[in-house]
Structures are given as C-alpha cells and as structure tokens.
A and B are shown apart, each in its own frame.
Chain A
Amino acid sequence: MRIERIDIDGFGRLANASWELPPGLSVFLGQNEAGKSTLLNAVRALLFGFESTRNGRVWYPALAGGRRGGRLALLDRAGGRWTVTRHGDGGGTGSLAVEAPTGNQGGTETLDRLLHGADKDLFRSIFAFGLSELSDVSSLSAEGIRGRIYGAATGLGGASAVDLEGELRERLEEHFKPSGQKPALNALFARMDELRDRIAALSRAPEEHAAAHRERAEAAAAADRLRAEAEALRARIVRLERSRAAAPIIVELTEAQVRLAATDPSLDRLGADAAADAESLGVALQAARTRLRDADRAAADLGVDIGTVAVDQALLAASSNLRALEADRAALAGDEGRRADALAAIARHDGTIGDQVARTRMASEAALLALDDSIPAIDALDGHEAAIERTATMVTDAERLVRSMRDQAASRIGDATMESPPLDVEDAMAALRQVAAARATGRSSPLPSALRQMPGLAIAVVVPLLTGVLVGSAAGNWQAGAVIGIAAAVAAVLLARAAPGAVELDAALLVRAGLPLEPSDEVIERRREELALERARREHGRATSSDLQHRLAAAEADAATAAADREAVLRRWGSWLAAAGLPAESTPAVARKTLAAAGIARRAADDRREQQAIADGVRERATAFERRASTLLDTLGIAPGATAAGRLQSAMDRLEEAMRADERRRGLIAQQAKLAAQRVEIVAAVEAAERELGAQLVATGVADLGALRSRARAGAERRAIADRVRELRERLVTLAGSQPVADELLAESATLDLAAVEIEHGETTARLAAVEDEERAVHAGVGELTARIRGLEASADLGAARQELAALQGQARALGTSWAATALAGRLLAETRHRYERERQPDVVKSAQAYFRQITNGRYVRIMAPPGDASVRVETETGEQLLPSQLSRGTVEQLYLALRFGLIEEFARHAEPLPVVMDDILVNFDAARAGRAASAIGELATTHQVIFFTCRAETANALDPGGGRTRALG
C-alpha cells in the first residue's frame, strides 16, 4: 500500500496543502521549522487519529487556518484507491471516513483491516519514526509491537493476537480484579463477606432461643415469687385492716359484757314473753266474763220472744188433708179444661154427622150410621161398578164399531161411484192389443201417412194427454192426471173429428188405447203397464167392499149381545142397592159417596161418645171434691163461702200463717238452746283463764300481775344487752372471716396498739405496691422474651441469608470457572503467539542482520536475541559479542534501524506493505554509514513507499542523487 496523495486542510502550520507522491522514495527537503515533523505527524494523524490534548494544549491545532485534518489517497497492492478523510478539533479518532475502491464507506474497522492490524504505536515505532523513536529501544520490545508484527502473519484480518488477548483481558477484568469493587466477582465477594458476617450473627439464634427460654423460665419463677410475696402482703394488710376495724367492736363488746354480768341471771328463766303472756291472760279473763254477761242477757230476751209467738195447732194438724184437697182442686182446674174440650168436640161431631146426612139422600142419621161401609161391602160395590162400566164400554165399543163399519160401507159405495170410469180399462187394453197386433202384422198401417197428413190431430191428442199427466203428477196423482189427460185428448179428438178434415178411425183406436199418434213401442209398453196396474187397483176395491159388509153384520150382532149383558148387570146392581139400604137408583159413584159419608159419620159418632164420657167423669170428680172440701172446711171452722175452692184458699192462707209462726217459734227455741251451750263454754273459759293466770303468778314468784310486769321489764333489759353482745360477736366474726380469727382478734385486743397497726399498714401497703410494680415488670419481661422467642422461631433471616450466600456462591463458582477458562484461553493465545514469534523471529533477525552488516560495511556480522530484547547483542566480524550499551550512539541507531527494516520486511511478508516515513534519522551517522544507510533505504524503497524528511541537502542527495524524487518543503 502506498500514499498517492496527501491533502492537508489544516494541521499546525500547514493549511490547504497537497502533495502527490510517487511509488517508491519521496524526499522532502526543508529547513528546520519547515513543517517536516508537522507533515509526518499529519500522516500519522490521518491514519491513526489525533494525539490527545495535554495540559489543555491541542496537538497540532490548525494554526494556518482550515479545518483541522485532511485526507490521504491510498493505493493498495491491487491498485485499488482508498480515501481516508479525517478531521477533528481535539484528540482521538475525530471524524473518520474511509472510502473503499468500491465506493463503499467505512470507518475505523475498515481502516484497521486495510492496515492489517497495524496500530498507531506500531506505525510510530516501525513505519513512521524520527530520530527520537529510532533510539527508543523499548518501542521495539513492546509486546504490542512485536505482537502486531507477527500478528500480521496470523491471518486474523484486522485484528492481531495481541488484540484478542487484550479483549480477553478486558473480559477477565470485567469478572475479577485483584483490587477493585466493580468487577462482578469482586462485588460478589464483598456481598458474600457481608452475608458471612450476617449469617454468623444470625447463627446464634438457637443459643439466643435457648437463652431466651432460660431467661423466661427464670423470669416466670421470679414472677411466681413476687406473686406469692404480694399475696402475703395483701393478707397482712387485710389482717391489719381487720384489727383496725375490730377495735371499736371489741370495746363495745367488752362494755356490754360488763353490763350483762351486772343483771340477774335468773331473769333468763322468766322468758321474754312472760309479762306479755300474763297481760294476755288478764285480758282474756276479762273478755270471757263480759261474754258471759252478754249470753245471760240474750237468753232472757229469747224467753220473752218465745212467749209472744202464737201457733194454730189444729190447722197445722190438718195441713196434710188441706194440701191433698188443694192438690185435688188444682187437678180439677185442669179437668175443667178437658171437659170444655170434650164438649166442644161433641158439638163438632154433631155438625159432622149432620153434614154427612145432608150430603146423602139418607133419611136420617140413624139410617146413615146403619150403612155397611165395610171392606166387603166396598168390594161388592167395586164389583158392580166394574161390571156396569165394562158392559157400558162393550155396548159403546160395539156401537162405535157398527158406526164405523157403516161409515166405511158408505164410504166404499161413494168411492165406487167416484170410480165409474171415464176410461174403460178393458176397452183401452183391448184397443192397445189391437194396436200391438197391428204393429206386429206390419208397418203397412195407414196410420203413419194419415198421421203425417194430420199433424194437428196428433198435437190435439198428445198435448192435452201430456198436460193432464203433468198436472196430475204435480198434484201427486198421476193416475188422475192421466185420466184428465186422456179425457182432454178424447175431447180433442172428438173436436178434431167434428172439424173439417178430422182424423180417421185408426186414430180413434189410439185414443181408446190412450196412446199418442205414432206411439213408439216403448210408449205402447209403458201404456200397457199403466192399464194393467189400473185394472189390479180396481179389482182390489171391489174385494174390499164385500168384506166390509160381512164385518158390519158381525159388529151389529156383537152390539146386540153387549146391550143384553148391560141390562142384566144393571138389574143386579139395583138388587144390591136395596139390600145395602142405599137409595135406589144410586149410581155406583153415589153409592160409594154415601158409604164414605156413613164411615165419616160413624167415626164422629164414636169420638163423640168418648168425649161425652170424659165430660161426665170431670163432673163426677168435681162433685166429689165439693163434698170432701165442705166436710173438712166445716170441721176446721172455715167460714162458708161461695165456692169450696174459695174456702179452701182461705184455709190454705191461714195454714201458711200458722206454719210461719211455728217456724219462728222453733227458731227462737233453737237459739235459746245454742245460747245455753255457749254459756257453758264461756263459763269454762273464765275458769281456765283464772286458773292459768294464777299458775303464771305462782311460777314467776310474784304475787300479782303488777309485780310480774316489773320483773318482766328487768328481764327484757338483760336480753337486750345479751342480744347486743351476740350481735357484736357476730360482727366480729364477720369481720374476721372466721371464728378462730375473731378469737385471735379478741385475744390480741388486750395488747393491740392501733398506732402501730396504722404504721405497719402504711409500710405494708407501700411494700405491696413495690412488689406489684416489680411483678408487672417481670411479667412484661416474660412477654418480651416470649415475643423474642417467637420472633427467633419465625425468623427467616438466617435461611434467607444462607440462601442468598448459596446463590452467590453458585454465581461465584460459575464466574470463577468462566474467569479461569477465559484466563486460560488468553494464556494459551499468548503462548501460541510467543511461539509464533519465536518461529518467525529468525527471519526478522536475519533480514535485520543483513541491513546492519550493509550499513556498517561488515563491521558487525550478527545480531543475537529477539529484537528489542534487553539482552540483544551484536557480534563483530571478529566474533566479539557486544551489548548495545557498548556501542556508539550512531551504531546503536543503525542497529535499531536495521531491526526496523527487518520487522518492516517481516510485516510485508504477510500483509500489505505499509509506507515508511522517516524524519532525518541519519543525522548521527557518519558520512560513510549515512551513505550506506541511504542505499539501504533505497533498497527498501523498491518494495515499500518511503517518505524521507531531511533538512540536509547531502542526505537528500544521498537518497536521491538525481533529485527527481526530492521536493522542497516550506
């Protein structure tokens, strides 16, 4: 590859400058400050970018104007033209555009590929160098330089093995750095350290759990102790408060007991109710005596009352008889009603019987009542009546039959008259036969021609005939219609015959036969059937009239027989009427009514008798009552009166009065007896009260009730004191809670110091409050420990930390493995490259050795060790091996120039040869060596483009003796 053209838009003091460069050598001759170094650096910048700004100063700013940068036109080995355009104000890549021979646009990668991985350092060290770089030994030994030199031969395109190793290094550093925090593994390790510490802290949870359990148990025990102490203190406080509360009770109790002791114990025997009992006895005694007096007064009053009551003993003695009479009287009052009813019934029956006699034709009631209306009599009557009706019916039927037969006979005679025929059936049939015979003998009959000649005659016969038949048919009697039709036809024929030009006899024959003119066989046949039917009908009528005559005669005979039977029956009926006592000429119906009236009258007569008997009985009992009443009332001295009943009522009133007086007297007597019994009881009560009161007084040892009252009061006072003592003791027990404690309180009361009790109460209460506070605190502690235990049991922190640590360990392991594989890959790549370098190195040294020998004119014949290696040595033609430090400056520069040439050729063996740019590098060479170096450069220029900057004309001449490739700069 060579540079075909350089265009500088602006770079340092260069602006809008262009240079066309030929293949091979180009020499730029210029004085100092002419811009040689500027142009050299411009080429570097256009190929590899701008140097970075240092200390705020821009590297080669466009001092002469123009846009900083420019372009290079490059020709590759195949003749393809590439254009590299780069501009930029600061350091770095700037804006780069690479145009390929194909016209495609590219950037850095395209340029790297074009330069075969040569980078800025490689270019500066090997391909574009000045005097300062020439003497820089380290630049040749740099790993990157060597790697790229050899890398050009690796076939890795734009990349070199060094690049790949660098990439792997970057990857490694992304994973891990010995120091630092950002790489993934470093960050993981840091987090894992944290987790380890956290896990260590959390792992103490079981011990903490156990410790918390122990603490809680201890705290619970302490709480129990405190609770017990508090209970004891509370009990003591209760005891003290009891003592304090019991003190006044005990004082009063003591005082009451003293007062009690001062009273008479014998009063206890008196009993609480002794005085009251005695008072009650006195009161009861007084009351009994009062009641006795009252009873005696009442008895006296009763005696007086009994004496004033008068009683009618006679009346009382007859009371049963009087009551019987009264009962009879009451019964008779009822009988009088029955008697009136009976009399009314008798009157009714009399009317009934009279009506029945009047309704019949009987002469008297007796005659009526004498009639036999029994069932046999009625049956006989029914038999007669049936016979009478039967014979009457028979006579009537026979007579009706005779009339009917006579009517029929008369009717037949009429019909026969009506049937006297205008049509002689036999004649018509004879005429029909003649017509039929004539038709049978042939068709020579003159009738047709005659009929043809007389169509009016035919019409005159047929039309009336048909009209008659139609009229008859419409009236339902076609035979009559036919007769009418025939008659009309006959009339028409007669009229026709009377008329001029009338029909001949043959036509009369047809009329006789009842046929139309020119009848068809079918018409003739139908006429024959009609005439036969008419003949049969007429014969049937004749036979019926004969039968009717016979049946009329028989009917008339039957009618005569029936009339005779009827006469006989009527005679027997008359006989029966006479025998039964019924009026003669009575019809069976009348006889039946008469017998029915007789039955009604008989039943009325029977009941009338019974009613009469009832009325008679009542009358008899009334008469007897009157008699007995008069006797008794008279005996009793009841004043006479209008009626016995009235007297009896008076007696009954007096009886009632006597009974009431008797009742009252009896009551008074009963009261008197009861009062007497009460008095006995009252007297006994008085006596008992007197005895009891006396006994009470004796028992209490007092003489009288007043003394008893006094003693009772003393006893009551003693009991009141005793009650108070008892009450106080009970209060004390209640206060103490039990009898033993009460006894203790009583026992200690003697020595009880209430002031000391108060002090102790205060102290104990204060202590209790303190103990309760402490107990609460301990309980709170137990609660906290329980919460702590639960918290520890439920804590997922340890598991979570372990899980996270395990996860991080897994990631670290994976990253570590990846890191190790990457590191190994890098190391193996480097190892491969080193081997490659070692294998290629002999060619480089060999080539450099040739250049070195040429420049030194054979003074040095061999170069040993890798280029740039600190241990590089040279061997003189005498076999002496020297280190660079043992060589002159010029010789060292020649050595490194030769090594560069070796490397340039090695690079070119595998890649596009790059242009070589040198900036006055021969200044330290002696003339001879400079000349030989110029020759070597010339040789190099046969395979590479060489651009040489110099300020020395002799150098330019040495390089380009003809001057055709030299141009002035500046």
Chain B
Amino acid sequence: MSFPAFRFLHAGDLHLDSPITGLATVAPREVLDVLRSATTDAWRSIVRTAIDESVDFVLIAGDVFEVANPTLLGQTRFRDGLVELAAHRIRSFVVHGNHDPMDGKAWAASLVFPDLVHRFGTAAGESALFERDGKPVARIHGRSYPTAAVSENYAAGYRAGSDGAFDIGLLHTNVGDRPDHANYAPCSIEDLRGAGMDYWALGHIHQPSIVLADPPALYSGIPQGRDPGELGERGCWLVEVDESHRVAHRFVATDHVRWSPLTVDIAELATDEALRTACREAIEGAITGGGGRSLVIRLRLIGRGPLHGTLVRTGYVDDLRTLLNEERPLGVPFAWVESIADDTVPQIDIDARRTAQDFVGDYLRTVAEARRAERTTDPEAHEHWQRLLRETIAPLFEHAPRGRRYLVSPTDAELAGRLLDEAESIGLDLLVRAEEGRD
C-alpha cells in the first residue's frame, strides 16, 4: 500500500534560556554572552533546519523550559520559532515534561502561539492528525505532564489509530528506568513495542540515543550541552518516512557551544615552552574537530614528568591558562580554556615514600589511614577521622551561611575519596618541594 511520504524533525529537552553550568573559572564576558544564548541559539538552529529541510512538522518532546528557572525571553524565543515555522506552513506538536509541566508557571499565559502549533493536554488518548490535501498522513499521539513528578506509565496508554496514518508517539519518559535520571512516566521497551506506534519521539534523556530499532524509538537528547557532563554533539533527529512507511533518520547537530575535555601528558615535556606547545596543539586539534563551534575546553595535565614541580607552583596553572587564552581572540566561535586540572604526579617513587620512615612517609601513611577509616570496621577510627575531616571543612561548608547556601557539602565518600586524594597530592607536593629546597 502506498502512503504519502513526509519528513519531520524530532527535538526535545530544549531547556531554553537555562544557564550553562559547571564553569570552574571566571568566564570572560564574550564567552558568557555566547553561553547564555546557547540554548536559544540551538533552538534557532532547529527551526532553521526544519525550514531548510522543508519538513512537514516539528515534534518537541518536552522540557522546553525549566519551571525552576523560567525566563520570558526563552518563552518568547520559543514562540518566535514556532511563529517562524508556522510562517513556512510547518506545524509543531509539543508535549510538556517534568521541567515544564502544565501546572507550572513556566509558560506565560499571555504568550499567544500560532494556530499551527498543537500543545498536547494532560489527558490520555489525545492525538492530532497531520493531513495533506485532506488526507491523513500522520497521527501524533501525545500527553503532557500535569505536574513535575509523573509516576504513571504514559506509554502504556498510547494506542495507534486505525486510519492508516503513520502513528507517532510523542512522550517525555524514562525508558527502562535509567537509574541516573529522574524516573518520570517510566515505561519499558515492551510498552513501546506494544503501543503500535510507527515511531517514538522521546524526550527526557539528554544523551541522543536509539532506544529501539523497530519500531524506531529515539531520544533526541538536549540540543545544546549545558554542563561538562554533556559532552559531544547535541541536536535533533531529521526523520523521513517513505511511501511504504519505512523510516530513515539522520542526526543533525544544533549545538553552538561544545564541551571539549583535553588531556596532555607531561611525561615527555621538559620545558614550559614544550608544555605550552603541547597544550596549544591539543587545543588546535579540538578546534579542527569542533566543526566551527565554540569550545569550552577543560585541559587535564597528567603523567609523571619534570614539569610537575613547576605545575604545582602557586598560580602557575592559572598563568598557563591565561597565556593559552590570550593566544587567540575571543570571537565567535571561540576556543576558551575554562580550566586546567593538574593531575600530574611528582617524579618520586610514591610506594617507596609510603614506607619510608620520614615525615613524608608519616604524612602519606596518615592520609592512607584517613582514607581507610571510611571503610574501616573500627567505629572509633571511623568516627575519629570522619569528625576530623568534617571539622576541617566545616568553616566553609557548615559554619559559613553563604557556604551552606551556595555550596554542596561533600559526601563522606567524596571526602574520603576525591578530596583526600587531592589533599594528599597537595601535601605531598609541599613536602617534596620543601625537601628539594624549591620554592
């Protein structure tokens, strides 16, 4: 049987005008400006892609905004995009997710959306028909979240139509109860298979992925990575459906700024200039691979080498970062080195030093004892070290009101893990430096 061919764009998790988080250093104004508009710029790219690709409609799988951080600008930009799509006779279908539920105040009631936009309500069983020349082409099934926390299995309530139209399930959901994501509108693969949909346009998981091949069930992911954890290209799916209802999908990157973690090994580097050159080469490589996008670069220095002693000097890494950033103008696109993590180790035999009967050995053993106390069965030792470590960081994380307000106190595991490791490194660097008579 032959059906009309059509194409659409599947996007979601726009999180419009929400901030880019996780910057470890002070960003220049030029960078901040780009970051601030990155999510709305990504939305513009989606709209532009839809127009350029002459799609028939656009699907938005929830989380257009964040109730916690709503901005009128973001909503206006969203409406403007929908208006632009409508001006090109492109329809839009929108469901609301946990970040922009219908009971939230994210949506300014005073904003008027074009007629070609269909926003799904919260009732089960709602669908909207996309027609061409008066004939049904695709039926979009959707359901918006009434509240932020939805525990009901929405997918189980989706049922395909019987009019021969291509059935699309538009849903904000956590398929398969992914543990690292809020378990909203949870459903299983079997639920997706059983609904009879021809395509599932999913939202909620920010990593673009293909959940199911048949019927195709795809997460569009977030169109713009917003923190160092959201690496790699981000965008939306361009989906084409042929006359036999065969589906072909292609990922279209829409992100304007990309997080770029880089690693430089100092093992073979002997001089400051060699280090800068290695960093520069790593950055140039990232720029080449960035496809013309702005890059927020996290540089991690690793390895054991003669430069370690230089790197641990107060202010050296900051100076290195400043120098690297000064080497290229901060236009658009930019390649801004956000931070440099010094994970290098001194040129000493750590294991030998751990057993040495000297002050350094004592220090390393003390740290080891503190680390062990986290998992020791000796309640007294555990209590002692827990208290000691907690007391140490308490002035900032517990006693200072603004520390409590703006900082998250590290967990016991973090305290005895990452923080102790870092503390060990700091102390060891100091002691070794003192031993060597360096500054």
Contacts and interface: CB of A to CB of B under 8 A. Distances in A.
Contacts of A205: 71-72
Contact of A168 (B399, B400, B426, B436): B426
Contacts of B389: 824, 827
A798 B72 contact: yes
A156 B397 CA distance: 32
A200 to B, nearest CB: 12
Nearest to A176: B396
Nearest to B76: A793
Interface in B393-439: 393, 395-397, 399-400, 402-403, 405-408, 410, 415, 419-420, 422-427, 430-431, 434-437
B2 interface: no
A164 B21 contact: no
Among A167, A171, A803, A805, the most chain B Cβ lie within 10 Å of the Cβ of A803
Contact of B105 (A154, A192, A206, A807): A206
Nearest to B402: A189
Contacts of A167: 430
Contacts of B162: none
Interface in A139-162: 153-159, 161
B396 A825 contact: no
Contact of B73 (A794, A804, A805, A812): A794
A594 B348 CA distance: 163
Interface in A790-811: 792-796, 798-800, 802-807, 809-811
Nearest to B399: A178
B359 A154 contact: yes
Contacts of A214: 110
A330 interface: no
B69 to A, nearest CB: 6
Nearest to A175: B396
B359 A803 contact: no
B378 interface: no
Contact of B358 (A154, A799, A814, A835): A154
B408 to A, nearest CB: 7
Contacts of A816: 396-397, 403, 407
B247 interface: no
A185 interface: yes
Interface string B109-148: 1110000000000000000000000000000000000000
Contact of B388 (A203, A829, A831): A831
B32 interface: yes
B288 interface: no
Interface residues of A, number: 71
A156 B434 contact: yes
Given A210-B109, A796-B37, A821-B423, A802 B408 contact: no
Given A206-B105, A795-B72, A812-B406, A825 B32 contact: no
B339 interface: yes
Given A168-B426, A810-B21, A811-B24, A793 B73 contact: yes
Given A205-B71, A796-B36, A824 B25 contact: no
Given A113-B437, A832-B366, A824 B420 contact: yes
Given A168-B430, A176-B400, A824 B26 contact: no
Contact of B397 (A154, A168, A820): A820
A210 B111 CA distance: 8
A209 B419 contact: no
A795 B35 CA distance: 16
A825 B423 contact: yes
A823 B393 CA distance: 7
Contacts of B367: 828
Name B's interface SS: helix
Nearest to B23: A810
Contacts of B426: 168, 821-822, 825
B22 interface: yes
B339 A814 contact: yes
Contacts of A171: 314
A836 interface: yes
A819 interface: yes
A829 B26 contact: no
B17 interface: yes
Contacts of B102: none
A192 B26 CA distance: 13
Given A798-B71, A798-B72, A836-B359, A805 B423 contact: no
B65 to A, nearest CB: 10
A138 interface: no
A209 B25 contact: no
Given A816-B403, A820-B419, A832-B363, A807 B395 contact: no
Nearest to B66: A802
B72 A206 contact: yes
B19 interface: yes
B435 A806 contact: no
B70 interface: yes
A213 interface: yes
A802 B109 contact: no
A212 B110 CA distance: 9
A113 B434 CA distance: 10
A748 interface: no
Nearest to A816: B407
Contacts of A681: none
Interface string A197-225: 00000010111011011100000000000
A207 B71 CA distance: 11
A805 to B, nearest CB: 7
Given A161-B359, A836-B359, A803 B32 contact: yes
A477 interface: no
A817 interface: yes
A833 B359 CA distance: 8
A612 B71 CA distance: 139
Contacts of B244: none
Among A155, A212, A794, A821, the most chain B Cβ lie within 10 Å of the Cβ of A821
A526 interface: no
Nearest to A199: B69
Nearest to B24: A814
B17 A820 contact: no
A193 interface: yes
A433 interface: no
A804 B32 contact: yes
Given A178-B399, A820-B397, A810 B24 contact: yes
Nearest to B71: A798
Contacts of A829: 363, 427, 430-431
B20 interface: yes
A813 interface: yes
B62 interface: no
Contact of B36 (A189, A799, A833): A799
A571 B400 CA distance: 179
A824 B20 CA distance: 30
Contact of A157 (B27, B339, B434): B434
Contacts of A825: 422-424, 426-427, 430
19 contacts: A156-B431, A159-B434, A176-B395, A178-B395, A178-B400, A205-B72, A210-B108, A793-B73, A793-B76, A794-B73, A812-B407, A816-B397, A817-B419, A817-B422, A820-B410, A821-B422, A828-B424, A831-B366, A836-B362
Interface of B: 17-27, 32-33, 35-37, 69-76, 105, 108-111, 314, 339, 358-360, 362-363, 366-367, 370, 388-389, 391-393, 395-397, 399-400, 402-403, 405-408, 410, 415, 419-420, 422-427, 430-431, 434-437
Given A157-B435, A794-B76, A820-B396, 4 more contacts: A796-B36, A814-B24, A824-B420, A826-B392
Interface of A: 109, 113, 153-159, 161, 163-164, 167-168, 171, 176, 178, 185, 188-189, 192-193, 203, 205-207, 209-210, 212-214, 789, 792-796, 798-800, 802-807, 809-814, 816-829, 831-833, 835-836
The 10 closest A-B pairs by CB, nearest first: A806-B19, A154-B359, A824-B423, A821-B422, A814-B24, A213-B110, A793-B76, A810-B23, A803-B36, A189-B402
